[in-house]
Amino acid sequence: MERPATGLDVRIDAPIFVGNCAEFVATTSTGTNLHYTWDMGDGTVQTGRVVHHTYAASGQYTITVTADNTIGFQAMTVVVEVCNP
The predicted pLDDT at position 42 comes to 98
Read off the pLDDT band of 13 (50, 70, 90).
confident
Q: Is 3 among the domain residues?
A: no
pLDDT digits (tens, 9 = 90+) for 39-77: 999 999 999 999 999 999 999 999 999 999 999 999 999
Contact predicate 19/39, CB 8 Å: no
The predicted pLDDT at position 1 comes to 84
Q: Is 69 among the domain residues?
A: yes
The predicted pLDDT at position 33 comes to 96
Q: Is 1 among the domain residues?
A: no
**Distance from the Cα of residue 37 to its chain's centroid:** 7
CATH number reported for the structural domain that contains residue 21 in this entry: 2.60.40.10
- Burial of residue 63 (CB within 10 Å: 0-12, 13-18, 19+) is buried
Could you say which DSSP state residue 70 is in? T
Q: Is 75 among the domain residues?
A: yes
Residues 6+ apart with CB under 8 A from 4: 30, 31, 69, 71, 72, 73, 74
